[in-house]
Structures are given as C-alpha cells and as structure tokens.
Chain A
C-alpha cells in the first residue's frame, strides 16, 4: 500500500478565530499565487465583476431574487456594471487582507449577515462565475495551480463573509 503523502504544504496559522467546518486554510504558496493572479487581472476588475455577475444571474436564475429592486438585470446594464465593480472592490480588499480575512472583512461580514442576508450557498455560484470569467479572459494565467489557489481563496472569503450569520 502506497502511504506516500502528496506534496502539500502546511496551512498558515489560521486567521483570527474562524473555525468553520469546511475551511481549507490558505498556505503561503496559495497566498502568493492569489496575489500574483490579482496583479495580472486587477486592471480588468470592473469588467470581470460585471461579466461574472451577469453570468451568475443568467446561469443561476434563482440569484435574481436578490435584485428584484433593479430596473434592469441584463448584461451590460448600469446596475449590473455598478454592482460588479462593488463586488470586485470587496475581492480586492480581501486580497489585501489575505493574512486575516475574518478580521479584514468584518464590516462586510456584518453587512451580509444583518442587512443583505444572502444565502451563503450563493457565494459558491458567484465564485464559480468569477473563475469562469478569469479563465475566459486570462486563459494562460489561470493555470490549474492558479485555479486551486483562487478557488480556496474565494471559499475562504465566503466563509469569512458568512462568519456573523448565526
């Protein structure tokens, strides 16, 4: 029986207090990969956000329920562009606070918990669409190695955002 452990790193000391069941903590390698990817894509952040949001609304129509107050939900519409930009602002903030997401995203966490109350299942849907857009716009940069770090990062962001839910 082959008991050889695959090449993996130790997780960084976990961030302040967050002990969610599914958290697969970011290693130093993950953080470096996320920052490297962000450096390449951040100039297109607004476009990425708008595209990802439009895709999410179309591919997962149940997500439209959170935006019934918008006059227009079509791709390229003003509310979608504006909100996509806002979301990417949050992603950029998360990248800058990658060493302690829970502390760094505290305000956003309270917003999502007490005001927005977005069902946390939806974070996965948006994360998927963000990554589809990144792969689509930056195919050479979104390697499997960048993908796994990004997927872990977005999952950790989601967990930190839902920290205050209950």
Chain B
C-alpha cells in the first residue's frame, strides 16, 4: 500500500467555542459496574393487560425459547423474537382450564407443557397444537406446582395444598409415588439438574425436603428448615447447592455437606416470591465466560441479582408493582418478570439472532450457501465510486488526520453572526432548557439579553413566557430566570396587556410561582420544626404570614415576583437543609 503523505500541518489560532450548558455535578456514587451495565442492557418491554397476577413463568428449553405465562385460568405462549420487534401479543393461548393456573413446566425437549390449576388437575399439552394430551387427576386440593424433571421425559412432579407430593407417570396418567412428609401446603419444587431421581420441595411448614425416588419408604432423604414459609426453591446448576426463598430472605444450602446453610441473603424488604438462575457474561482478561447468578423477585417490587460465588448482591432493579414470578431464558437473552397486577416485564438483550439456529444447521449438515464471488467493479456500478472508502489503514501507514469539524447548532451559528434575538428564539423553540439557559448566559456576557427581550415580537414573547413559567422556579436556574422574569414583565407590560394569549402565559407563570411559594412555606414549617434557628424561623414565619393578594390583573405580579425571588433565595437553602435534616 502506498504511503500516505502528510500534508503540512498549518496551525491556526482561530478557535470556536460552542455555547455549552453548565456542567452538572456528577453523582457521588461509583460508576456503573460492568455487571449492572449487563443487566441494564435488557431492553424492557411491557406486556400489559393480562387479567390477573402472573403466577408462573417458564421458558421452553429448546430454541427459539418460547416462554409461557400462567395467569388467571389461562396460559399464554410468547415468542421472544417478536418481543424484540415490539409485538407484545401472545403467539398462542391455552384456556382450557376450569380454575386459576398455578404452575407450568416445559418438558426438557420443549414439546410438551404441563400445567396445574387450583382445581387439583394437572394437564399436559402439546405446545404446537395446544391440545391437552393427558389429564392427571389425583390431588384433592389445589395443586401449587408441577415440574418436569430436567433429565427425565416420562415423569412429572406435582404438589399442592393437600401436603402430598406426587410423582406421576405421564403416559399412563398414574401416580407412581405419593411422597408424604410435609405438614403444610407444598408450594414449590425443583428437580436436580444432575440426577433424574432427586428433587426438592418447599412447603409452608418452613421446611425444604430433598427426595429421592429410589428410596423405598418414600421418606425425604434430607430436610432443611428455612425458618419462614418457603415460597420458592431452586437447584443451583452444580446440583450440590439449593436456594430457597421464604419471608424476606433467600438462603443457600449445601446439600452435599448435609444441609448446611451457606448464606442468607436478606436484601429484600418484603416476601421473596420467586427465584431463578440467571447467567451473566464476564470478561476476564479478554476471555469471555458465563457466570451464574440468582435472580430473586419480591413483593417489594425489586429484582435483585445475587452473586452466590462472592455472596453479594450485584444489581438491583425496581419495578412499579409487587413481583410474583421471574424466569430467565436458557440462551441468556430474555428475562421475564410477572407482577401481581397482570403485567409482564420482558427484558431482551441485543445479540446475534441466529447463533444457535446456525449451529443447529451445521450439525444437521446444511451449509449456508457461501457468498457468491464478488463481482468485478465496473464504472457502471454505483459501488465503483465508493471503492476503497472503507479501507482500513495498515500498521505502517502515516495517517493524515483531518481536523474534526465542529458541529454548530443553529443558535451557535446565529450567535456567531451576532443575530442575538434570532438565536434566543431558535433555542427557545428547541425545548432544551439547559441550552436555553446557556444561550441566555452568553447573551448576558454580551450584554444583549435585555435588548433581545425588548425586540421580541408577541409570538416570540409568548415562547419566552412559556419557558419562564415552566422553569423560573427551578432552583438550578432560578437565580437567573427570576430576575429575567421580573425584567421581562417590567419591560413588556404594554404588550402583555394588549394580548390575551400573553395574559394566559402570565397567569400560568403566576400559578407556578404560587405553587413554588406553597412548597417553600411548607418546607419552612418543616425546617422550623426541625431546627431551632430562631432568627431564620422568625424570618420565614414573617414571610409565611405575608398575604399574597389574588391579583386581578396579572400584570402586577412583578411585586409578587420580588417577594417570590426573595423567598426562593431562602427557600433553596431551606430545601437543602430539609434534605440534610432527613
């Protein structure tokens, strides 16, 4: 490749500075960790209007990882692919239930779906046709969970309010084992990821029992006491640890070590309703690896991500409703959370859409047709004129950097041409208040702001007054804007009096200032309660007694503004004091 010759750099002295808003103070907290960045990268989609509480969520183990949501007396299947397109309608719905669906579980090939309802019935559906294939009836009371073992296609596990855990043979619709031992409602279970015979169940009697179907007397092989009614239990991927959720805590137990509690995570404020295993991508020295986390949701509306390797909460996210269920897709791209008021918050990460399907294709022997040989470029092609433009420089090339062009906003250009009023109007119509304040400050520095105000025509004055009525009371800008508001009203009294539209703006302005005054007064009262600064209390109470006359003609509000700006001055202080005090 030919060497690129350096153009002789001729420096110039000319500098252009843009009008920039004042910097904001940075939060004192640490910057986002890579992990919380990962969890925030799930682009949240809201699936609203499901009738009632989402009792259970489950992902299909096979791609494309459909997920099923149980709510009321129906189960809906959603496709995560359509979610990323913004389509929130379910791809299909099963509604052949007589009572509220309590739990659902996919078989490990994703072809069958088991669902239990509160009538005591467990049904097995074909996911594609949505026809009920088997109906398992034996429970006398509502069934609370149903679970397909991870490594077993033939059996099912269910349990409910009759305190009995049943192990089913699905094909014959018969109960293989009745596991009796819990003394209260059985609420949850999970099957071991490493053995087809082991599973755990959790019950409202505070205990979590480990069962082995190979044990003859149908007794639990191990029992741990969570200390609170157990809401959810999961096996961690190694198979040696389980996590239980009950009360406000999530506890981790070591089964191989004989049921020893490893850690108790107590960062929820209300009952933890559901937990699941999530995975996070970690980059260590360039190598990418996945690490497991526990996702827990609770009635306090928080989702917490717990790193059970380091025993600490690495991320926490708030949702606007009590959360009932959570699930995380096996391809680590979708995370769904169900709330008690029928909303599913589905989060989906961006990624290569067809990573797994491509892999499947290769396994099956289908080779994607390789790209046809690139055609030789001819001057008749459009691409001919773009050739070489995306060429990357090689190691030894000398790069001639072109100076970065400074992007000028419209108000910058106008200010450069000394068209001050036009610049102000242009930035006012852009609705970015920081920029507006920055332009105003620049105009002050040029001693042109009041000139601009006096030159505004009535529409533009309306624009300015709208801006002022919205922002004049903001503590950040009030020192500049209150003064300006006063000046504007003083200078443009005649115009305002002659125009109804402007009078309306003034009315709005008055309202917002009165609102702010009210806030300040209440804050002063609180401060008076909280602190014993006699002098300031006297001052504030004096201001508080100030009777603000209801202004008939809105034009006399300049006087009001004077007192308002005075109060604001103290008020900002008191607001800060208020924050400090609590």
Instruction: Say whether A and B bind each other.
Output: no
Binding site for A on B (CB under 8 A): none
